[in-house]
Chain A
């Protein structure tokens, strides 16, 4: 089936350009926008027992802002290894949705490519790929190849700039943290994650329940409170919105 005519005019024009470069160009504003986030992660890491070096290393060990922040906070709170790993994996669960959306263009790619692409898959890379990439409604291998190049150009740019941002974050944020109230930067970052991820009535309900349950759950030992509050909030939200698995 020839689907070339399905390409939108804007996408056709972009297709004539180099996909790697257009992807990288689309990623630069995101890289700038995430600088404060990296500063906050640096400040939180410096204040915690995790420290600056490991705090920065989470940028390539874990590579996802929310997972890094939560992982650092859980380790600092003395949570068990299983708990930290479980929560980081849970936070990454939204990649299921991204993988499902991107899989048509990735289906014909070799395993090494999907491994690399999976490693650098983060929220802005997905957004750029779906909103700024070449048109998606096609089965043509050449269009898929261009989509993959565009994605990787954006995702690798985001990864490289995130490493630099986090290094600056640890150096500058670490110094700033001496002048900031204890814990407030981390709390503000968590508040921003909550606010920005409340995109539907179900996510708003899950966030409200997570917060309400998180207060009494904070008294539980072994840092079990937040994960239990989270799982309970998801279960209640799923049952109330009819999304039980």
Chain B
């Protein structure tokens, strides 16, 4: 199916649900369980996609370098919460390991 349609529909439905939630929340309180579970989606889907991306690394020899770069980037992200530092640290680790190997 056309990528424009898919991403457009995804955006439209996500917006529609957001608006619906706002309208519903204005009338009645939302269950704490739903609120708590909604906070688990982003970390679990991003982690699963990350695992899949690493498994599908095109060059087998590149995998250890990418894993180390991602671990370094992840630690920096966790400590600093800065996207710029995360990218910088991960790419620097990858380049350094590439030079050493």
Contact = CB atoms under 8 A, between A and B. Distances in A.
Interface residues of A, number: 100
A194 B47 contact: yes
Contacts of B12: 61
A75 B46 contact: no
Contacts of B36: 202, 243
Interface string A110-135: 01001101110100000000000000
Which bracket fits the contact residues of B? Answer: 35 or more
A155 B96 CA distance: 40
A36 B52 contact: no
Contacts of B90: 184, 188, 191
A225 B52 contact: yes
Contacts of B34: 96, 245
Contacts of A194: 43, 46-47, 50, 74, 77
A206 B53 contact: no
Interface stretch (A6-14, A18-26, A100-108, A156-164): A100-108
Contacts, number: 302
Q: Is the interface of A mostly helix, strand, loop or mixed?
A: helix
Interface of A: 33-37, 39-40, 49-50, 54, 57-58, 61-64, 66-67, 70-73, 75, 80-81, 84-85, 87-97, 99-100, 102-103, 106-107, 111, 114-115, 117-119, 121, 180-200, 202-204, 206-215, 217-219, 225-227, 229-230, 233-234, 237-238, 243-245
A226 B14 contact: no
Which of A66, A75, A192, A234 is the most central at the interface, judged by chain B CB atoms within 10 Å of its CB? A192
* Complex A-B, nearest 3 residue pairs according to Cβ-Cβ distance, in ascending order: A214-B51, A214-B48, A210-B44
Contacts of B26: 103, 106-107, 114
A98 B23 CA distance: 12
Given A49-B3, A58-B11, A182-B58, A197 B22 contact: no
A233 B44 contact: yes
B45 A226 contact: yes
Given A194-B47, A214-B48, A217-B52, A92 B91 contact: no
B52 A226 contact: yes
Contact of A229 (B6, B44, B58): B44
A214 B47 contact: yes
Which of B10, B62, B65 is the most central at the interface, judged by chain A CB atoms within 10 Å of its CB? B10
Given A94-B41, A115-B19, A230-B41, A215 B10 contact: no
A24 B5 CA distance: 32
Contacts of B49: 70, 73, 190, 214, 226
Interface in B1-54: 1, 3-15, 17-19, 21-26, 29-31, 33-54
Given A81-B1, A234-B44, A181 B94 contact: yes
A80 to B, nearest CB: 8
